[in-house]
Amino acid sequence: MRRLIVGKNDAGQRLDKFISKAVKGLPKSLLYKDIRTKRIKVNGARAKENQILALGDEITLFIRDEFFDSPERDDHALAHIKPKLSIVYEDENILLLNKRPGVLVHEDTAGGENTLILHVKAYLYGKGEYDPDIEQSFAPALCNRIDRNTGGIVIAAKNAEALRIMNEKIRENEISKFYLCAVKGKMPRRADELRGYLKKDSDANMVQIFDRPFAGAKTIITRYRVLGENGGNSLLEVELVTGRTHQIRAHMAHIGHPLLGDGKYGVNRDERGKGYKHQALYAVRLRFDFQSEAGALSYLKGKEFSIDENEVWFLRDFIK
């Protein structure tokens, strides 16, 4: 029999979600059976799988010890990682990071330590703000993702409340995100709002854009304004009104202006010799446009953060 006490980063979630993270070795089929048969209780009483946990709740688990030994737990290596982070902003709840092109945000099938989230965990572990041996169900997490070869601002949450609020604000489009990109050709207008309909092909890790809606398609809205032109190409500031997979890359290619260096949605053969080895895209600025209650993150409302434009490698071709 084991006892788990619900901590600050555990409270506010369903019992089944908490157990699945706190006891990773317990199969889900057994988890729900153990709740039904009262082998998992909350405060000594029968519990329900959707019961919301409160700070200080005591969970008793009459399950085999082997389920607590999870092979997935690899955070013990954090002490041996020297974190390499470019921090744009930090407070007690969040980190804003300048992710460099070439860095993965999360681990892929090849593994390795060059992932942004692992370096975030190592950084907070070194500061004493995160200890995987104490946390039962929470680990620092990234709130938004950027493609491996795209650079720019990524939001990391240091605690469960910040993660919940930030994910909600992103879902409700209350965070404005602005990118710089270089595209082929001259734009037909100096500024425009583009609307399209996106279909994702997960197997190919690509998306397609269409001009008319259809069943299963997701609406996308992309705003742009031209900042400069050089050699028949254009520098744009793009605002993502919606944030879908590969939205900027696919939307610009769809209207005939693929990003320089983008070999997935365009042909980058001509640009590789000019230093464009991957798509010319950088998330340079974000603004917290909270419209509803933001709880512990209310102090961020209206604040804007940006990175130094010297970080944007392709600007060299448009600055005279």
So where are the chain's domains? 2-68, 75-171, 175-317
Task: For residues 251 and 195, give the distance between their C-alpha atoms in angstroms, rounded to a whole number.
Answer: 9
In the prediction, which pLDDT does 289 show?
97
Kindly give the residue spans of alpha helices, DSSP state H, lying in 136-234.
Answer: 160-171
User: What is the CATH superfamily name and number for domain 2-68?
Assistant: RNA-binding S4 domain (3.10.290.10)
Residue carrying structure tokens 């390499």:
84
Is the model's pLDDT at 72 over the cut of 60? no
Q: CA 277, 117, 170 angle in degrees (round to 5)?
A: 90
- Tokens describing residue 206: 């690509």
| pTM of the model as a whole | 0.87
Tell me: the pLDDT tens digits for 56-67?
A: 999 999 998 888
Task: For residues 60 and 286, give the distance between their C-alpha atoms in angstroms, rounded to a whole number.
Answer: 44
Burial class (CB in 10 A: 0-12, 13-18, 19+), 90: middle
Q: Which CATH number fits domain 75-171: 3.40.50.300, 3.40.50.720, 3.30.413.10, 3.30.2350.10?
A: 3.30.2350.10
Beta pairing class for 281-288 and 151-157: parallel
Task: For residues 124 and 159, give the distance between their C-alpha atoms in angstroms, rounded to a whole number.
Answer: 11
Is the model's pLDDT at 13 over the cut of 70? yes
Within this chain, domains 2-68 and 75-171 share the same CATH topology = no
For range 39-63, the mean pLDDT: 94
In the prediction, which pLDDT does 109 show?
47
Q: What sign results for the dihedral spanned by CA atoms 84, 82, 73, 44?
A: negative
In the prediction, which pLDDT does 65 show?
80
Q: Which DSSP category does 273 fall into?
A: T
CATH topology classification for 175-317: Pseudouridine synthase (3.30.2350)
For range 7-18, the mean pLDDT: 92
Residue carrying structure tokens 């919606």:
242
Kindly give the residue spans of alpha helices, DSSP state H, lying in 85-200.
Answer: 116-127, 160-171
